[in-house]
């Protein structure tokens, strides 16, 4: 889940704060995807993982728990999100977190990551080729890269439905501008990675149910979640009076139509991309 077009400075401000506040519901929304991503990342053993745009740290924590003899470094530009990650990993001796722009990150010591992982944290670079080239120069020769990202907006019904009920702008002018759907096009992403020195690219298309609400009042849970995070939150925050009331009631109706048992679940589509270094 994320805003329609999100620059780095927004992650250090309002967007990062909302995500830090909503990390539990956000982890829930990614649930099935996280299982697939962690399974792909841990297909081979690793000594040192680098989690790019680690946010509130779920993937870092999962990797550190799965591989207690390995070390995981989470890197993010949002202090608020890193504070949550540090608290969650407080009992783990093998996960550390660092405030840094991943496109300029350098290892502090001699150990170089042999696994670079990210759950939806790599679509916000202004110059993705430069960022992935830089990362390729910081990691071990045999490093693997495994990340998830949304497929194109048109493949993601959750985003299309939110835009239509809110009359929100469906996309930024440039679909490749930094933001949640910037890595939607497979060939475009493949071109970035190949130019940055990565090879053996694999793209796995993952369709899953994004859980927005659950429990005794799943509809209220989902409505309040979307009013805090993502494109709906932004659009609604800019409305007032009756326009706002009408938007919230259309949002509730759309979410209610996506009820599955005691959950509100919206169709989402992602890539899990993996690669190795070409050296």
Ligand X SMILES: C[S@@+](CC[C@H](N)C(=O)[O-])C[C@H]1O[C@@H](n2cnc3c(N)ncnc32)[C@H](O)[C@@H]1O
Residues that bind ligand X (CB under 6 A): 2, 8, 11, 16, 26, 30, 53-56, 58, 75-78, 81, 101-103, 119-121, 124-125
In the bound state with ligand X, the residue whose beta carbon lies nearer, of 42 and 78, is: 78
Alpha helices in the chain (DSSP H): 8-11, 14-21, 23-29, 31-41, 58-66, 79-88, 128-138, 157-166, 186-195, 218-226, 231-237, 241-256
In the complex, least distance from residue 76 CB atom to ligand X, rounded to whole angstroms = 4
d(CA 176, CA 134) in angstroms, rounded, equals 20
Copy the structure tokens of residue 252: 């509730």
| Cβ pair 115, 49 in contact under 8 A | yes
In the bound state with ligand X, the residue whose beta carbon lies nearer, of 10 and 248, is: 10
In the complex, least distance from residue 51 CB atom to ligand X, rounded to whole angstroms = 7
In the bound state with ligand X, the residue whose beta carbon lies nearer, of 5 and 78, is: 78
In the complex, least distance from residue 8 CB atom to ligand X, rounded to whole angstroms = 5
In the bound state with ligand X, the residue whose beta carbon lies nearer, of 46 and 132, is: 132
In the complex, least distance from residue 97 CB atom to ligand X, rounded to whole angstroms = 11
Q: At 76, phi and psi to the nearest 5? A: -155, 160
d(CA 194, CA 222) in angstroms, rounded, equals 39
In the complex, least distance from residue 246 CB atom to ligand X, rounded to whole angstroms = 29
In the bound state with ligand X, the residue whose beta carbon lies nearer, of 52 and 248, is: 52
Which DSSP state fits 139?
S
| Cβ pair 100, 77 in contact under 8 A | yes
Copy the structure tokens of residue 66: 């799965």
């Amino acid at each position: 889940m994320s805003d329609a077009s999100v620059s780095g400075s927004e992650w250090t401000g309002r967007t990062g704060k909302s995500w830090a506040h909503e990390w539990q519901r956000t982890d829930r929304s990614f649930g099935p995807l996280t299982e697939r991503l962690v399974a792909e990342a841990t297909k081979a053993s690793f000594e040192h993982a680098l989690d790019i745009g680690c946010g509130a740290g779920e993937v870092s924590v999962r990797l550190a728990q799965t591989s207690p003899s390995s070390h995981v470094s989470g890197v993010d530009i949002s202090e608020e999100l890193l504070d949550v990650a540090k608290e969650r990993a407080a009992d783990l001796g093998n996960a550390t977190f660092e405030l840094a722009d991943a496109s300029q990150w350098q290892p502090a010591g001699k150990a170089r990551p042999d696994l670079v992982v990210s759950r939806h944290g790599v679509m916000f670079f202004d110059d993705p080729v430069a960022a992935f080239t830089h990362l390729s120069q910081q990691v071990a020769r045999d490093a693997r890269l495994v990340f998830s990202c949304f497929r194109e907006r048109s493949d993601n019904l959750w985003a299309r439905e939110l835009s239509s009920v809110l009359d929100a702008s469906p996309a930024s002018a440039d679909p490749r501008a930094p933001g949640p759907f910037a890595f939607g096009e497979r060939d475009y992403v493949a071109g970035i990675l190949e130019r940055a020195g990565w090879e053996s690219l694999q793209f796995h298309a993952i369709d899953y149910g994004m859980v927005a609400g659950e429990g005794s009042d799943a509809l209220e849970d989902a409505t309040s979640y979307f009013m805090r995070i993502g494109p709906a939150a932004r659009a609604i925050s800019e409305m007032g009076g009756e326009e706002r009331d009408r938007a919230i009631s259309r949002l509730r109706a759309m979410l209610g139509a996506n009820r599955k048992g005691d959950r509100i679940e919206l169709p989402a589509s992602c890539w899990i991309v993996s690669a190795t270094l070409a050296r």
